Amino acid sequence: MRTGEVFALTWDNIDLEKRIIRISKTVYAKLKDNDGRWYLGTTKTEGSCREVYICDTLYKALYNYKKKQKILRKQYGKKYKKYYLEKIKNKYGKIVEYKIVESKYKRKNNVEMVFTRKDGTYAGTDIIKYPYKIIHKELGISNCRFYDLRGSYATKSLYYGVKIKDIATILGHSNIETTENYYIISSEETRKKANNIFEKITQSDVVTEILNYLI
Core vs surface per residue 47-78: b (16+ CB within 10 A) or e: ebebebebeeeeeeebeeeeeebeeebeeeee
pLDDT tens, position by position, for the chain (215 residues)? 999 999 999 999 999 999 999 999 999 999 888 888 999 999 877 778 999 999 899 999 999 999 999 999 999 999 999 999 999 999 999 999 999 999 987 777 789 999 999 999 999 999 999 999 999 999 998 888 988 888 888 888 888 888 888 888 888 888 888 787 767 776 777 667 766 766 676 677 776 776 676 66
Contact 49, 171 (CB under 8 A): no
pTM over 0.85: no
Q: How many CB atoms lie within 10 A of CB 170?
A: 19
Q: In Å, how far are 39, 88, 89 from 92, measured between CA atoms? A: 20, 11, 8
Among residues 106, 146, 144, 149, the alpha carbon closest in space to that of 124 is found at 146
